[in-house]
Structure 1
Amino acid sequence: MLKNEFHISQLIVAHLRGTITEAEQLKLDEWLSESPMRARLMDELREESHFNKELMFFDEVDKDAIWTKLTKKLIQDETSKVSSIKKYWKALAAASIILAVFAAGMLYYNNFSTDRTLSAISNNNEVNPGKIGATLTLANGERIKLSDAANGQISEDAGVRISKSANGQLEYEVEENKHVSSGYNVLSTAKGETYKVLLPDGTQVWLNAASSIRYPTNFSSHSTRKVLLEGEAYFEVASDTSRPFIVKTNMQETKVLGTHFNINSYSDEPNVLTTLLKGSISVYGDNKVKILKPGQQANLSKSGNLQVRRVDTEPIISWTKNEFMFDGDNIDAVMRKIARWYNVEIVYQGVRTTDKFNGTVSRFSEVHEVLQLLEKTGTVKFRVDGKTIYIL
């Protein structure tokens, strides 16, 4: 996708310099006719004062960082093309920056100043980014709000010590030479919360917003390591060939021995998505089973149709790195992510855009910053009123 945008950038540069050929001009005209926003972009570039301002902006940004972000997605599997593209990087200059941000709708540059927004979105103090937080429900029913709990040991029961680490991780440790029984704990996040837990077997779990996971406090008395998931979680499963690790959701089961994978099972999503990064997993759904290889995703629809496809795994686990990474997402998918993280209501007004969104922005950005970046695509506008975001 970005490869084509760089080619268009070359045509823009040639047009501005007056060196474009007739055939190139036809191709550029065709590209401009596909979107009114592209035509507006070209009009702005023709204005000398505006173009000089963009050149000034180009001089201020970290071009090496921008190059890294752009090429990372463009040439993941085409390393031989890096040098040839890099040779004309300087020639693309401001046009590449402007095009990639405004025309292509790429949101890689999350350091733009707020006065570059396309419409007025107030910095609403009622809408804040999500945070590290969760609620732990112990086997006896006691509930502990982890954001309020001090670091160190927070509970001990039947030979199992539960602690909160300095970096905000919940950790389980089975004490040696003690009688150990197994109850069940539930770790749950509200909208706008995320948390990480180290299970008794050494498995690490990242829990996304509006999610919960139920698990035994000790796996040694069980023939399998089964956990129940609602919402979304990323797993790095500790290897134990004698006890398979099983993740059960409302519609499927995923069975592994030791591997890295992500499951998105939110009830408001159209499909349950299970994505494998490392190792091998078996996905069971609607009396079917699929064995995944790294880089594959199982897609289980509400009707029970189970399909497997290859995917780019980086956008799928970007939330574990505290990022929104949109990868051809439609407006509904984008706003569902925003709603969960910022704990807001989404209201659509008018006709929904069918455009796809691509790009990366920190999940710790203020909501108005995220919305402004989405608006830079020229295909969508927002209004924020309290805890409600209206899509105009």
Structure 2
Amino acid sequence: MEKKTLQYTLRQYIQGKLSEENSRAFLSYVKSGKDKILLQELIQEVLEDPIDQHLLDDPTLLAVLDNTWDQLHLQINKPKTRSLWDWKRIGAIAAAIIGLFFIGRWFFAVEHKSVAPQAAQNVISPGKQSATLTLANGKQIRLHEAQNGRLLEQSGIRISKTTDGQLIYEVSGKTQGDSEHNTLSTTKGETYRIKLPDGTLVWLNAASSLSYPVSFANQKDRTVALTGEAYFEVAKDAKQPFIVQAADQQVKVLGTHFNVNSYADESAVQTTLLEGRVQVSSHNQKLLLAPGEQSSLTAHGVLKSHPIDTAPVIAWTNNEFMFDEDDIESVMRKVARWYNVEVIYQGKKTTEKFGGGISRFDDVQKVLSLLEKTGAVHFRIDGKKIHVLP
């Protein structure tokens, strides 16, 4: 593209003024690698921030490209919501979409004056890509300690670990009829991705686990069991439905993209559909979800659905916190899982709702400082404990 045309298109894209068709065309052009240096210069001009060249080659960029481009079209400010957004947030989303994954360098230019002085002496690191693989025989493999490449073969399936933090199951030979089960689990402050033997991709959030057969061959369906939260991109197979068992509900699909949140400390088990169709059932209740809908199974066993903005729901798969009229307890549950901290409430809890987002790679003090700037809440850090104050 000519420089002026590229500059104009970039600005239109960042401002959310491109149509879906033109946005996809622009992304395809960017991913082609043409005008890479010029594009880098233009982004620096638009966002007024330096870009590290080596970040352009980050192996996680394809996941970012594939899952975040539509986040540019979020509703940024909503009534009665304490907004964490500013104009740089728009640019941050756009930059992440087009492949400049800044690891939180400039998501927000905030000062730390509002955080208590002793907080500066407490270093609470963000989470990382790590998980534990438990084999059928009980053997455990800490994936962040394992070497990249082939790990083992099991029931005719080759299991390997990639450099970008993904566990991959591939058919390597004749699979057995009765498949063994493996479990991938994360603790607080961990997240991981896995490619199941049928080609289904799963993003596993912190403090979660996924149990699955090593092979789906010779089985009537593809059933997996989830605790915590995961995002699924299910490979299509009309002959073998994909079933997710989570708490007291079952999600049945043939091939689609959806997120399941089944944390025990949440008020409901939530299933959010992004693409395709899924059937959610619990006891004698059944719901058929369309894209952009979320089902909730309450603690009382009531299953219901409603329309929802899906971007905040799956923001964690792109290493972001994104809040959409969340109360302080909901916000802090996400913080506690990712930073592996204990949250203690002192005094009356704020009733304000929060909206906006920030990179999960940012220091916890930056996240808390941003929340404090809304004027609705204050924090004090004591070791691995975060005190929430009026």
TM-score tier by shorter-chain length is: 0.7 to 0.9
For residue 116 of structure 1, report the CA deviation from its aligned partner.
5.8
Residue aligning to 2:276: 279
Residue aligning to 1:387: 384
Residue aligning to 2:18: none
Residue aligning to 1:362: 359
Assess, with a 3 A threshold, how the Cα gap between structure 1 residues 70 and 377 changes in structure 2: closer, same or farther.
farther
Structure 2: which 5+ residue stretches go unaligned?
Answer: 1-44, 50-68, 90-106
- Mapped to 1, the partners of 2:70 and 2:240 lie a distance apart of 41
Residue aligning to 1:202: 199
Contact 1:121/1:372 (8 A) holds in 2: no
Contact 2:112/2:366 (8 A) holds in 1: no
Length, aligned pairs only: 305
- Mapped to 1, the partners of 2:329 and 2:175 lie a distance apart of 51
SS at match of 2:330: helix
Assess, with a 3 A threshold, how the Cα gap between structure 1 residues 329 and 179 changes in structure 2: closer, same or farther.
closer
SS at match of 1:150: coil
Assess, with a 3 A threshold, how the Cα gap between structure 1 residues 69 and 143 changes in structure 2: closer, same or farther.
closer
- Mapped to 2, the partners of 1:347 and 1:290 lie a distance apart of 37
Contact 2:122/2:382 (8 A) holds in 1: no
- Mapped to 2, the partners of 1:115 and 1:337 lie a distance apart of 21
Residue aligning to 1:72: 73
Question: Which has the larger helix fraction?
Answer: 1
SS at match of 1:114: coil
Assess, with a 3 A threshold, how the Cα gap between structure 1 residues 234 and 70 changes in structure 2: closer, same or farther.
closer
For residue 122 of structure 1, report the CA deviation from its aligned partner.
1.9
Contact 1:121/1:368 (8 A) holds in 2: no
Contact 2:182/2:211 (8 A) holds in 1: yes
Instruction: Pick the aligned partner of 1:170 from 167, 171, 175.
Output: 167
SS at match of 2:244: strand
Contact 2:157/2:170 (8 A) holds in 1: yes
Alignment of 1:1-392 (within 5 A): 62=47, 72-74=73-75, 104-108=82-86, 109=89, 110-115=107-112, 117=114, 120=117, 122-177=119-174, 182-392=179-389
Contact 1:160/1:180 (8 A) holds in 2: no
For residue 112 of structure 1, report the CA deviation from its aligned partner.
1.2
Q: Which amino acid in structure 1 is aligned with residue 47 of structure 2?
A: D
SS at match of 1:317: helix
Assess, with a 3 A threshold, how the Cα gap between structure 1 residues 70 and 246 changes in structure 2: closer, same or farther.
closer
Contact 1:254/1:281 (8 A) holds in 2: yes
Task: State which structure, 1 or 2, has the greater radius of gyration over its C-alpha atoms.
Answer: 1
Contact 1:211/1:230 (8 A) holds in 2: yes
- Mapped to 2, the partners of 1:222 and 1:247 lie a distance apart of 15
Deviations 1:269-305 (A, max 9, x none): 0000000000000000131000000000001100011
For residue 118 of structure 1, report the CA deviation from its aligned partner.
6.7
Assess, with a 3 A threshold, how the Cα gap between structure 1 residues 61 and 319 changes in structure 2: closer, same or farther.
same
- Mapped to 1, the partners of 2:319 and 2:217 lie a distance apart of 33
For residue 134 of structure 1, report the CA deviation from its aligned partner.
0.2
Structure 1: which 5+ residue stretches go unaligned?
Answer: 1-59, 76-98
Residue aligning to 2:38: none
TM-score scaled by structure 1? Answer: 0.73
Deviations 1:104-124 (A, max 9, x none): 432445321425647546235
- Mapped to 1, the partners of 2:135 and 2:386 lie a distance apart of 36
Assess, with a 3 A threshold, how the Cα gap between structure 1 residues 329 and 321 changes in structure 2: closer, same or farther.
same
TM-score scaled by structure 2? Answer: 0.74
Identity across aligned pairs (percent)? 51
Q: Which amino acid in structure 2 is aligned with residue 150 of structure 1?
A: Q
